[in-house]
Structure 1
Amino acid sequence: MTLPVKKNDIQKSASSIANFSPEQINVLKNSIAKGATDEELELFLYTCKRTGLDPFSRQIYLIQRKTKDDDSKEKKSNGVIQVSIDGFRSIASRNPEYAGQTTTLFCGKDGKWTEIWTQEEYPFAAKVGIYRKGYQEATYAIAKWDSYVQCYWVKNNHGKNSQEVSSMWKKFPELMLGKCAEALALRKAFPSDLSGLYTADEMAQSNNEVIEAQEVKDEAQKPKLPSTKEWTEQNKKITEVQQKQIEEEVNTQSVKKVPAQVAQAQKVLDRKEKALEAEVIDNEIVYNGSEDHKSKFKEIFRCLKIFSEIKNDMEKTVELATYFSERCLGVPLKHLKEHLINIENDYKINHSKDISAA
């Protein structure tokens, strides 16, 4: 059940900062900025206004991160503002000097860069360059795997610790590392706009902690990435479990006699919160190249300007569809359209001659 936020001076001040309604502030404090103090909420809304990011679109959010107090040695919860990679892209695209970016490149320990990572081992580093008008060269940033990968120290019954890579970094190593490199490059290219802002992927290592476990996997065993079918089934199970939890929570809510106006207001808040919960579930389903996902990809691809320019050339259409589809793997379906538009803009900048020739 959503708990209403008291109308105090802090809330009124927060409402005036980002021009959010009291209902929207209730939703923020009970979902996107859950657990935030009034002062943390005020700072969060001020950051939303300064960056022009929309918290309801998950471009920016506030999470509670536990840190150890130096004096008491106890863990305390503090609100930390984080921006999604889509938020970074949105801020950069609004800057008049932004002129696109390079394709994400990956390399192993041999230092040879490639667009597509096909090795069984994890990539050693990822590199992205950002173009700015008036600059001859792109501003590059390199993210090393060891510097950003999220790991957990697992402790077994014998007291020995071993380090394991978290599930998302294990399933999508090049996607996660690529986002870190992109965020680094964007912040390096536009420090005035992005200074002090970090993505969740960059901050992943701060969550590393020791977890009690009964078994520890063999460290020498090479990680095996799941197949498309396995990932689809896992996503389906996760979605079903989360949906069941939402239904159980709704069904177990007690019925109370309240004034009609209060009941109506609560229904509005509940609908908004359910919509946000559904959005979280949708965000966990990513494009994996399956037939179901390809139908949505084709629908969006046909709407791109680049498709209308080469629609009479079937060979070029197949080539571009393959090029775009490979660069959409691991992208949340909810953001697939925005991602395709970004790829289209980047492709036109780097392949303008190819398009005109077609």
Structure 2
Amino acid sequence: MSNELVINNEQLEQRGIDVSTWSALKNSIYPGAKDESVMMAVDYCRARQLDPLMKPVHLVPMSVKDAKTGRNEWRDVVMPGVGLYRIQADRSGNYAGSSEPVFGPLIEREFTGGVRVSFPEWCKYSVFKRMGDGKIVEFISKEYWIENYATAGRDTDAPNQMWKKRPYAQLAKCCEAQALRKAWPEIGQQPTAEEMEGKMLDITEVNEREIQHPQSRAVTSAAGMNNLINSRPSSQSDAETRDLADMLASFTAKMSEAKSIEELDLLFNGGMWPDGKKRPGAQQAFTGDDLAKAQDVYNLRREEMSDVPI
């Protein structure tokens, strides 16, 4: 018996999606993807007020490994494309352009199975940001091909087809994404689809579980949040589940937009906000499984903000 979820009309209506839009998403934007994966991308876009038809995020098939069990399985993971970071930088109103990528010397190397590949040693990319005083500041990223490329499989160190075919373009996209994250940390620190395509994702803190009910799915801001929210079963009735799903959707959206660890703490623990008003947090709003879901999202976002890539 298949565990694949089938999206029904009620779920589409809840998200304001008509049949023609859903058809376009399924057949043109994300052809071949499972219904649940496409809806995961839609929920991601809703949380960040993005148009899913513009494909700002990608569904990247990844081998997800649970470090506790050592098991691997393939699943679709929602990840932003470098195009989304460009959009967000432009929306900030202080994006002042970028430079052409600069590449290091060409290197030729032999990988597993006698595969020989030529690639640039490194790439340097600059983006420019207009500061509050009008001064334009350059943010530079330098990335090495050997540290970024994706392998063709777990049993080989040879690059996959994309990294063999387009070694310059792939490295340039990774380098640009890093530069944009450095200049605009508020756009998020999640790796882009270009950086993660073909790589394996290790889950060390959360056990993998089957998705139980489509009603329990919450709007999330990152692929990790989607997995965390969906990995926990729900014990409430359908009506209660829908209400709590809406509350969790609001919570995860706010967590994704939080710009500091202090704000994350206030959203989860509650307390006195900078405007002088005392507000409850997730700990006061949720109980049981739903509190555990909120806790997972809080821990993930706090870890992301505490471990910003350089």
User: What TM-score, normalized by structure 2, do the two folds share?
Assistant: 0.50
Greater strand share, 1 or 2?
A: 2
TM-score normalised per structure 1: 0.44
Higher RCO (CA 8 Å, separation ≥ 6 residues): 2
Pair member with larger Rg: 1
Larger helix fraction of residues = 1
